[in-house]
Amino acid sequence: MKFNQLGPVGAEVSGVNLKGLTGSQIKHVKKAFLRYNVLIFRNQDLSPAEFKKVSNIWGAPTIHPVFKGMDGYPEIIEIKNFGEKYHTNAHWHSDVTFEKEPPDTTLLYSLEVPDEGGDTLFSNQHLAYEELDNGIKTSLKGRTAEHSNLGVVLLSGGKAKDAKTVDHPIFRTHPETGKKALYVTEAFVRSINGLSDEESRELLSKLYEQASKLKFIYRHKWSNKDLVVWDNRSVQHFAEHGYGDKIRNMLRITTSGSKPF
């Protein structure tokens, strides 16, 4: 098993069949995951049952609080995009941050991908925090932001009254490494608590710009049967379109989470 670092975040893992990992190999994978934050496994032939089993390496697979899972596999969401008008994921985000305990890990497995377009971008939020202006770090130390699932609820056909909110720290500490990460996401954050609307908007704009700087990003070009696993506590991602009306079909699992601190 070899790990080839891909840039500011991520590594491609070669010489491994995820269906036949030994205990020792699992330990190596988990250690590398904490180092690289994103792992890419190419040419993995996984049925839904095998995909679910593999996800247990990173935690218990969870059922999404809004979107319905596959028949027989409620923890697996099938993500099908047939054209740009169906594309709803074009924003930087960490997954499900509107929960009190957001999932620690996301696994995305490609079934059918276009030959052009459809890349996923990953941004290292440890680096985003480390290189953030010291004045902003000081002013926001200990502050929280309000996260909401209103957009997701409306997208799934629900009603605004069913939306929920939760507060999370703007700078999150990774529970396994102790490293700080920037933890605000355009998709779900509504405001910074304790600031005026104007101050909140101004600072959030700066934080979003910091979170998505090119120097923190790895761009993944998908092939069929890729499995990409990322640390939701330290990485944001962005799904590009650019493939017209071609099909892009993926399976997604998120694993059990922890309360940000």
Residue 79 forms beta bridges with which residues? 250
Active-site positions read: 93, 95, 237, 252
CA 96 to each of CA 145, 162, 210: distance values in angstroms, whole numbers, following the listed order? 14, 15, 21
Q: In 3D, which of 160, 169, 159 has the Cα closest to residue 94?
A: 169
Task: State the Cα–Cα distance between residues 126 and 210, nearest whole angstrom.
Answer: 11
DSSP output for 165-192:
EEEEESEEEPTTT--EEE---TTTEEEE
Helix (H) or strand (E) segment spanning residue 127: helix 125-130
Contact 146, 63 (CB under 8 A): no
Per the listing, tokens 């099938």 go with 78
67 by DSSP, 3-state: which?
coil
